[in-house]
Amino acid sequence: MSTRWIAGNQARLLENGEEFFPAVFAAIGAAEREVIVETFILFEDKVGLQLRDALVQAARRGVRVDLMVDGFGSSDLSADYIAELAAAGVRLRSFDPASRILGMRFNVLRRMHRKLVIVDGVRAFVGGINYSADHLADFGPLAKQDYAVELQGPVVADIHRFAISAIRAQDGDDGRPGQGDVERPSAAAGDVAALFVTRDNLEHRNDIERHYRAAIRSARKSVLIANAYFFPGYLLLRQLRRAARRGVQVRLILQGEPDMPIAKAAASLLYGHLQRAGVEIHEYCKRPLHGKVAVVDDDWSTIGSSNLDPLSLSLNLEANVVLRDAAFAATLRTRLEHLIANECRRVAPLPTSRWAWWEELTSTVLFHVLRRFPVWASRLPTHMPKLHLATAESACGHQHQHQPQSDAR
């Protein structure tokens, strides 16, 4: 687990597409040398068209532009969309795409789930927001609730180096910065200490989860987690229970109106076990929750792409930023407590019944299964994913516009 805290950063919380998209598009519009974007989902809707236009304009004025999308989450970009990017000089790469079989997509495992933007090596965005109109309130009842952070300062250099390596190592070079890359130290921009933490299937299999566990283990007053897809492993569940039992206020904000009903069904299997230890569970009911954030005590917080479920913790490629700053933590906590007070319902613990022994037994079995999930996940089908540089010709099988109701992570 990385312990290299980087001081001197500035962090700004961005809530939902209304705050996130204008900030990202303005940063791209001001780019002078380089733009790197990674996203799980890019839909060809009004948001995706805005992103395309911003990247095309940047490329046409001489900015080096790299865009990486996931081959599962962004599988239906049209040939025209891709051709316009390519004609402007944007390098669009698809992470491990696969053809449909009988209209179905089976390349669901080990996805590139990160959401990153780096501009000129001095400004970065990290979070859970995809490029789709369902992150805007005017999408309607299925609009998602989500968060990201805008960063300036020395930590951006770490994010920038990572993004260059991730995108270009499979282009046939060694992944190191080359001509045209922005590689310069960033001056101090604020008082925030930050860590950029990733998860992969090679050297960093559980780094994000370990940072969560370490923060919960050291908590003295409060733990507040908002997470869309909650079905974590045994060790993280144990730390949540232990924190609550030693008097820490532990609150979870989970989906009450899920875009994927199975997510709520899975999480609800854990409610009784957590509540018996004193954990409070609140279901967000205004619209689908898509956030992946947490605040612990007065100054620890995290924002990123990682859910607390088997896909994110054991299979997908993820990226979070961990922050040490009382002001930022207070801002995030205030936003989350607003949800609890106004847009959530607290799940009441079920009364003790004569079947409590059976519930405890089934919980014990479930948690021993969870305890082993990193092991069984590592045995699922694996391969070395490849990045594919997209061209208009390669998009001939992807003519239909994606509908935003499907992939939600």
Residue 391 lies in a domain: yes
Token readout for 42 is 């890019």
pLDDT (tens digit, 9 = 90+) per residue, 158-190?
999 999 998 866 555 444 444 445 555 678 989
Token readout for 233 is 């492993």
d(CA 151, CA 122): 8
Q: Which of 247, 251, 260 is nearest to 339 (CA)?
A: 251
Q: Which of 323, 273, 331 is nearest to 303 (CA)?
A: 323
116-120, 131-135, 269-273: least confidently modelled range: 269-273
Spot the catalytic one: 66, 120, 134, 207.
Answer: 120
Grade residue 367 by pLDDT with cuts at 50, 70 and 90. low
Residue entry with tokens 């612990």: 296
Please say if 286 is a catalytic residue. no
Mean pLDDT to the nearest integer, 130-153: 97
Under 8 Å between Cβ of 163 and 36: yes
Q: Do 162 and 230 reside in the same domain of the chain?
A: no
Axis crossing angle, helix 79-88 with helix 46-60, rounded to the nearest 10: 20
**CATH classification at residue 389:** 3.30.870.10
Please say if 292 is a catalytic residue. yes
Residue 62 has a CB neighbour count (10 Å cut-off) of 10
Grade residue 388 by pLDDT with cuts at 50, 70 and 90. confident
Q: Give the single-character DSSP code of 134.
A: G
pLDDT (tens digit, 9 = 90+) per residue, 223-271?
999 999 999 988 999 999 999 999 999 999 999 987 777 778 878 889 9
Residue 186 lies in a domain: yes
The better pLDDT of the pair 132, 399 is held by 132
- In 197-309, alpha helices (H): 207-218, 234-245, 261-268, 271-275
Beta bridge partners of 152: 10, 123
Under 8 Å between Cβ of 74 and 39: yes
Q: Which of 58, 3, 344, 60 is nearest to 194 (CA)?
A: 3
Spot the catalytic one: 135, 264, 290, 398.
Answer: 290
Please say if 297 is a catalytic residue. yes
| Calculated CA dihedral for residues 257, 262, 267, 273, nearest 10 degrees | 130
Paired sense of beta strands 34-39 and 222-227, if any: unpaired
Q: Do 157 and 261 reside in the same domain of the chain?
A: no
d(CA 199, CA 312): 8
| Amino acid 389: pLDDT | 82
pLDDT (tens digit, 9 = 90+) per residue, 259-307?
777 778 878 889 998 999 999 999 999 999 999 999 999 999 999 999 9
Under 8 Å between Cβ of 93 and 388: yes
Q: Do 172 and 219 reside in the same domain of the chain?
A: no
Under 8 Å between Cβ of 50 and 43: no
Residue 407 lies in a domain: no
Q: Do 133 and 237 reside in the same domain of the chain?
A: no
Q: Do 166 and 232 reside in the same domain of the chain?
A: no
Whole-number average pLDDT of the chain: 87
| Amino acid 53: pLDDT | 98
Residue 402 lies in a domain: no
Q: Do 215 and 330 reside in the same domain of the chain?
A: yes
Q: Do 307 and 173 reside in the same domain of the chain?
A: no
Q: Do 126 and 157 reside in the same domain of the chain?
A: yes
Residue 301 lies in a domain: yes
Token readout for 373 is 């999930």
Please say if 46 is a catalytic residue. no
Spot the catalytic one: 297, 309, 325, 407.
Answer: 297
d(CA 118, CA 84): 22
| Amino acid 266: pLDDT | 79
d(CA 117, CA 123): 8
Spot the catalytic one: 264, 292, 398, 402.
Answer: 292
| Calculated CA dihedral for residues 225, 227, 233, 234, nearest 10 degrees | 40
Q: Do 44 and 101 reside in the same domain of the chain?
A: yes
| Amino acid 356: pLDDT | 64
CA 212 vs. chain centroid, Å, equals: 14
The better pLDDT of the pair 257, 209 is held by 209
Contacts of 248 (CB under 8 A, 6+ apart): 219, 220, 221, 222, 223
Please say if 115 is a catalytic residue. yes
For the chain, what percent of residues have pLDDT higher than 70?
Answer: 80
Under 8 Å between Cβ of 263 and 273: no
How many structural domains compose the chain?
2
Residue 406 lies in a domain: no
Residue 201 lies in a domain: no
pLDDT (tens digit, 9 = 90+) per residue, 317-365?
999 999 999 999 999 999 999 999 999 999 998 776 656 666 667 666 6
Q: Do 372 and 226 reside in the same domain of the chain?
A: yes
Domain range for 300 is 207-377
Spot the catalytic one: 70, 76, 113, 259.
Answer: 113
d(CA 95, CA 149): 24
Q: Do 214 and 353 reside in the same domain of the chain?
A: yes
Q: Do 190 and 296 reside in the same domain of the chain?
A: no
| Length of the chain, in residues | 409
Residue 403 lies in a domain: no
| Amino acid 3: pLDDT | 65
Please say if 325 is a catalytic residue. no
Q: Which of 305, 255, 299 is nearest to 281 (CA)?
A: 255
Cα atoms in the Cβ-side hemisphere of radius 13 Å centred on 356: 9
Contacts of 2 (CB under 8 A, 6+ apart): 195, 197, 207
Under 8 Å between Cβ of 253 and 292: no
d(CA 151, CA 149): 6
Spot the catalytic one: 115, 144, 160, 402.
Answer: 115
